[in-house]
Amino acid sequence: MATPHLPARKLRVGILGATGTVGQRFIVLLETHPVFTVHALGASPRSAGKLYQEAVRWKMAQPFSPVVGSLVVNECRPELFHDCDVVFSGLDSSVAREVETAFVRADLPVFSNARNHRMGEYVPLVVPTANPEHLDVIQHQRKQLQLRRGFLVTNANCSTTGLVVALRALQDAFGPLSQVMVQTMQAISGAGYPGVSSLDIIDNVMPLISGEEEKMETEALKILGGLQPGATGFRPLTETQVSAMCNRVAVVDGHMECVAVKFSQQPAPSPEQVQQVLADYTTDAQTLGCYSAAKETIVVATEPDRPQPRLDRENHNGYAVTVGRVRRCPALDVKFTLLVHNTILGAAGSGILNAEIALAKGLLVPLDS
């Protein structure tokens, strides 16, 4: 593993949507970060002009610092974030398209959690522990948009994120997958705040998360696909079919997914081989020495009743995916259960780790360099 890349000074971070569920998670994860420091906050006109401590309805177990609490929340206009080295967006999707476009046009580097730009022609859709090489398309995007240091990178839908980490490990080791079936049990924090009504979710399971299945089925193919020659775009997979069924359950954090896969190459690997490959999987995030990278990208739980959200979602500070119950599937080839922390690796943590990788690769450039 390389020595962590520490710039001459901490990079100043702007957070858009700082009062929301994902925005709050950014603040917690950046509190003790050695490379990034929270500098400017943005939210809706309802919050703008207030101190952060007055505007936010704080829902995290960890407190925010007095320094963050006394920052004044801005409207999300690029000129108010001009001295930020990097901007993380946890904006509501009703405004993210327009606001993020304005920030990128103002030559700011933006890492977004919102769905709006994910399938854009020149927009890297990056899960840091699945397809970090897609960040190389940043150079081409800059040329297309005539930018000097700005760019837009998005991370994936939270359920897609956990899934593709495991699938990338399998694809690298055993070649293409022909079929993937996934059923999710998604936490209520995935719906933001106040999100799902308590009368809908207590003593109940909701069998619909609008648009979620379609996102899992399309985003996974872009993430697991390759790059055009010269990193000028993407080549989504065509040989793999993903079928998703998504449910909301009464868990606060942590999306569980029951996954079954069929391999193109037959005979298929055994469950034992699959388990070994998942446990051994490493990525650029670790080899580049990124601060937030989990020591194990995938934790393979050997106990028969794991993973469980309450017990496993914080594995490696929420940056790992946990997989268990790897076994033969009578219909496809192999099946397993996985867990991803939806607001850490599934959201803010992916944005932060993507930025750490981009910095280590020289793609994210501090303002005065």
Ligand X SMILES: NC(=O)C1=CN([C@@H]2O[C@H](COP(=O)(O)OP(=O)(O)OC[C@H]3O[C@@H](n4cnc5c(N)ncnc54)[C@H](OP(=O)(O)O)[C@@H]3O)[C@@H](O)[C@H]2O)C=CC1
Ligand Y SMILES: N[C@@H](CC(=O)OP(=O)(O)O)C(=O)O
DSSP 254-318: -EEEEEEEEESSSSPPPHHHHHHHHHH---HHHHTT-TT--SSSEEE--STT---HHHHTTGGGG
Binding to ligand X by residue 20, rule CB under 6 A? yes
Q: Which one of the listed residues 76, 158, 246, 290 is annotated catalytic?
A: 158
Min CB(21)–ligand Y separation in Å:
9
The partner in contact with residue 92, picked from ligand Y, ligand X, none with C-beta cut-offs of 5 to 8 angstroms by kind, is ligand X
DSSP 186-223: B-GGGG-SS-S-HHHHTT--B---TTHHHHHHHHHHHH
Residue 33: count of CB within 10 angstroms of its CB: 17
Instruction: Measure the CA–CA gap between 99 and 42, rounded to whole angstroms.
Output: 11
Residue 334: count of CB within 10 angstroms of its CB: 22
Among the listed residues 154, 240, 283, 343, the single contact to ligand X using CB under 6 A: 343
Min CB(251)–ligand Y separation in Å:
11
Taking the least distance from each CB to ligand Y, the nearer of 219 and 356 is 219
Site for ligand X in 55-84 (CB under 6 A): 76
Min CB(64)–ligand X separation in Å:
14
Site for ligand X in 180-219 (CB under 6 A): 189-190, 192-193
Q: Which residues bind ligand Y (CB under 6 A)?
A: 93, 115, 157-158, 186, 190-191, 209, 212, 215, 342
The partner in contact with residue 91, picked from ligand Y, ligand X, none with C-beta cut-offs of 5 to 8 angstroms by kind, is ligand X
The partner in contact with residue 215, picked from ligand Y, ligand X, none with C-beta cut-offs of 5 to 8 angstroms by kind, is ligand Y
Sheet holding 73-75, edge to edge: 73-75, 36-43, 11-16, 86-89, 109-112, 151-154
Taking the least distance from each CB to ligand Y, the nearer of 129 and 342 is 342
Candidate ranges 109-117, 141-149, 214-222, 318-326; the one touching ligand X (CB under 6 A): 109-117
Taking the least distance from each CB to ligand X, the nearer of 21 and 218 is 21
The partner in contact with residue 212, picked from ligand Y, ligand X, none with C-beta cut-offs of 5 to 8 angstroms by kind, is ligand Y
Q: Is the dihedral of CA 248, 57, 160, 274 positive or negative?
A: negative
Please compute Rg for the chain using Cα positions.
20
Catalytic residue check, 255: yes
Instruction: Measure the CA–CA gap between 258 and 253, rounded to whole angstroms.
Output: 17
Instruction: Measure the CA–CA gap between 304 and 323, rounded to whole angstroms.
Output: 11
Site string for ligand X, 41-60 (x = CB under 6 A): --xx-xx-------------
Percent of the chain as helix, strand, coil, to the nearest 5: 35, 20, 45
Question: In this chain, which residue has its C-beta nearest to ligand Y?
Answer: 190
Cα dihedral: 84, 89, 92, 98 (round 10): 70
The partner in contact with residue 209, picked from ligand Y, ligand X, none with C-beta cut-offs of 5 to 8 angstroms by kind, is ligand Y
- Chain residues in the site for ligand X (CB under 6 A): 17-23, 43-44, 46-47, 76, 90-93, 95-96, 113-115, 158, 189-190, 192-193, 342-343, 346-347
